[in-house]
């Protein structure tokens, strides 16, 4: 059953007529379907169950506290992109070992907050951000867990404004930059590199670009491990699309099957659009 549907000319959310909500709460107001949110989250979990990953809901998709609490009760982790989103997770008592901090342009105050909360991973987007984080870590005598967002130079078929994983895009470190960082990071006593990740865009329905990006990321992870880094997780990004107009849904089973065949033990998925 669709979460929102018309019955005799009246719009319903599940079994509740929206006209009734409008009378009680006034307008404008936002109405969400609990069952639709849980259904989408559980579908994602079921597809990748054999990998036992951490599924991270992207707080920027919808930071409503009721939704965050609902997903937390289901066992979801969270992907944040700002200090404000970290504050909202504090309001719900989030488990910090299930929180990753992505996003560009993190301020020193936001980085400091993330370190103080001992979150699972701070996903570093650039060399400049790495330098700022290293300076703060020395000052505060903290050794934060970090991951690098890698730009795998993979083409994904989506709107040109939402594609982010090719060489010409400004997001993440390219493969050459990542290679150059290995000898530098081996001498650092204040940064603990535990992961690598990518985010190649949004509203992507073809699974092949994700597989292509994973292959490149896995190769780089192997190099980091050979250099002595304990890479504990791969953050395989969000961006799986939603079929709005009759398109074929993304083949999550194929993606999960490929990852299983290639022995991915621990992965972290940042899920967009679960609401």
What integer is the mean pLDDT of 54-59?
Answer: 95
In contact, 167 and 152? CB cutoff 8 Å: no
- The two tokens of residue 136 are 């703060």
What integer is the mean pLDDT of 221-237?
Answer: 92
Q: Which helix (H) or strand (E) holds 78?
A: strand 77-80
CA distance 85 to 270: 15
Determine the pLDDT at residue 156: 60
Determine the pLDDT at residue 271: 52
Phi and psi angles of residue 158, each rounded to the nearest 5 degrees, phi first: -155, -175
DSSP state of 269: E
What integer is the mean pLDDT of 211-217?
Answer: 93
Q: What is the dihedral of CA 107, 112, 119, 186, to 10 degrees?
A: 90
Mean pLDDT over all residues of the chain? 88
Determine the pLDDT at residue 165: 43
pTM greater than 0.85: yes
In contact, 187 and 226? CB cutoff 8 Å: no
Domain ranges within the chain, ordered by starting residue: 1-31, 34-271
In contact, 18 and 12? CB cutoff 8 Å: yes
User: Is residue 264's pLDDT more than 70?
Assistant: no
User: Is residue 162's pLDDT more than 90?
Assistant: no
What integer is the mean pLDDT of 132-158?
Answer: 86
Nearest to 38 by CA among 3, 13, 87: 3
Determine the pLDDT at residue 175: 87
Residue that wins the pLDDT comparison between 120 and 242: 120
SS3 string, 127-177, reads HHHHHHHHHHHHHHCCCCEEEEEEECCCCCCCCCCCECCCCCCCCCEEHHH
- In this predicted structure, which of 67-76, 176-185, 206-215, 221-230 has the lowest mean pLDDT? 176-185
| Cis peptide bond prior to 5, omega within 30° of 0 | no
CATH architecture of 34-271: Alpha-Beta Barrel (3.20)
Q: Write the CB contacts of 69 (distance below 8 Å, at least 6 apart in sequence).
A: 92
Tracing tokens 């090719």 back to the chain, one arrives at: 166
Sign of the CA dihedral running 100, 149, 195, 55: positive
- The two tokens of residue 112 are 């400091």
């Amino acid at each position: 059953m669709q979460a929102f549907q018309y019955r005799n000319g009246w719009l319903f959310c599940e079994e509740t007529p929206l006209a009734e909500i409008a009378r009680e709460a006034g307008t404008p107001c936002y109405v969400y379907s609990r069952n639709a949110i849980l259904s989408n989250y559980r579908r994602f979990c079921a597809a990748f169950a054999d990998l036992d990953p951490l599924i991270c809901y992207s707080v920027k998709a919808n930071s409503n506290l009721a939704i965050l609490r609902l997903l937390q009760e289901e066992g979801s982790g969270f992907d944040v992109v700002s200090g404000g989103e970290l504050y909202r997770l504090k309001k719900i008592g989030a488990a910090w070992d299930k929180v990753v901090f992505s996003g560009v342009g993190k301020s020193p105050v936001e980085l400091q907050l993330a370190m103080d909360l001992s979150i699972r991973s701070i996903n570093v987007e650039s060399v400049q951000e790495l330098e700022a984080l290293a300076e703060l870590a020395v000052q505060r005598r903290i050794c934060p867990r970090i991951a690098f967002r890698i730009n795998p130079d993979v083409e994904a078929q989506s709107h040109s404004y939402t594609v982010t994983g090719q060489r010409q895009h400004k997001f993440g470190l390219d493969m050459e930059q990542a290679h150059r960082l290995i000898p530098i990071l081996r001498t650092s006593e204040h940064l603990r590199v535990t992961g690598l990740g990518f985010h190649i865009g949004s509203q992507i329905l073809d699974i092949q670009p994700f597989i292509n990006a994973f292959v490149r990321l896995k190769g780089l992870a192997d190099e980091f491990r050979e250099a002595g880094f304990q890479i504990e997780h791969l953050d395989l990004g969000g961006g799986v699309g939603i079929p709005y107009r009759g398109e074929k849904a993304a083949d999550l089973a194929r993606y999960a099957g490929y990852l299983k065949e290639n022995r991915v033990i621990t992965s972290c998925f940042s899920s967009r659009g679960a609401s």
